[in-house]
Amino acid sequence: MKKFNKYINTNVLFKTANLNSTSIGIKIIAGIFTSKAIAIFIGAEGLALIGNFNNFLKALQSFSTVGFYKGVVKYVGHFKENNRELSALLSTSYFVGFFATMLAAFLCYYNADFINNFLFSSNYNYAYIIEVMAIALPFYTLNIFCFSIMNGFSKYRILLVINIIGQIVGLLVTLLLIWQDKIDGALVSIAIMPALLFLITLVGILFRKSLVNLVNISNISKEMLSKLSPYSLMALTTVVALPLVMIFIRNYIIDEVGIKEAGYWEAVNRISNYYLMFINSLIALYLVPKLEAVHSKSNFRKEVFGFYKSLMPYFLGVLIVLYLLRSFVVRLIFSEEFAPAQDLFIWQFLGDFIKVMAMVIAFQFLAKKMFSHFIILETFLFVTLYFSSVYLVDVFGLKGAVMGHFFTQVLHFGIVILLFSSSLFGVISEKIED
Model pLDDT, residue 18: 53
Distance from the Cα of residue 182 to its chain's centroid: 26
In 3-state terms, what secondary structure has residue 74?
A: helix
Helices (H), 205-335: 222-256, 259-282, 288-293, 297-324, 326-333
**Quick one: which of 340, 339, 357 has its CA closest to 349?**
357
In 3-state terms, what secondary structure has residue 122?
A: coil
Task: Tell me: pLDDT of 1 over 60.
Answer: no
What are the Cα distances from residue 6, in Å, to 1, 10, 286, 386?
Answer: 9, 8, 12, 40
**Quick one: which of 313, 130, 320, 91 has its CA closest to 222?**
91
Model pLDDT, residue 288: 67
The whole-angstrom separation of Cα 134 and Cα 360 is 36
Least confident of 196-200, 311-315, 337-341, 413-417: 196-200
Percent over 70 (pLDDT), the chain: 88
Model pLDDT, residue 431: 44
Can you give the length of the chain in residues? 434
Cβ count near 47 (within 10 Å)? 28
Q: What is the pLDDT of residues 286-309, one digit of tens each?
A: 776 676 666 677 777 888 888 888
The rounded mean pLDDT for the chain is 84
Q: Using CA atoms in the order 342, 344, 347, 353, what is the torsion angle rounded to 10 degrees?
A: -60
Q: Which residues contact 213 (CB under 8 A, 6 or more apart)?
A: none
pLDDT band of 360, cuts 50, 70, 90: confident
Q: What is the pTM of this model?
A: 0.88
The better pLDDT of the pair 95, 268 is held by 268
Model pLDDT, residue 92: 86
Q: What is the DSSP letter of 219?
A: G
Tell me the helices (H) and strands (E) count for the chain, helix number first: 17, 0
Model pLDDT, residue 3: 45
The answer to whether 187 and 53 are in contact (CB under 8 A) is: yes
Q: What is the pLDDT of residues 188-225, one digit of tens each?
A: 999 998 888 887 777 666 655 556 667 778 778 888 88
- With b for 16 or more beta-carbon neighbours within 10 A and e for fewer, the 313-340 pattern comes to eebeeebeebeeebeebbeebbbebbeb
Q: What is the DSSP letter of 11?
A: S
**Quick one: which of 83, 37, 4 has its CA closest to 181?**
37
Model pLDDT, residue 206: 60
The answer to whether 327 and 342 are in contact (CB under 8 A) is: yes
The answer to whether 149 and 79 are in contact (CB under 8 A) is: no
pLDDT band of 153, cuts 50, 70, 90: confident
**Quick one: which of 351, 362, 376, 374 has its CA closest to 284?**
362
Q: What is the DSSP letter of 425?
A: H
DSSP per residue, 342-381: GGGHHHHHHHHHHHHHHHHHHHHHHHTT-HHHHHHHHHHH
Least confident of 57-66, 104-113, 298-307, 335-344: 298-307
The answer to whether 145 and 139 are in contact (CB under 8 A) is: no
Model pLDDT, residue 83: 76
What are the Cα distances from residue 267, in Å, to 96, 316, 343?
Answer: 36, 20, 12
Task: Tell me: pLDDT of 361 over 80.
Answer: yes
The answer to whether 133 and 191 are in contact (CB under 8 A) is: yes
Q: Using CA atoms in the order 283, 289, 290, 292, what is the torsion angle rounded to 10 degrees?
A: 120
The better pLDDT of the pair 375, 363 is held by 375
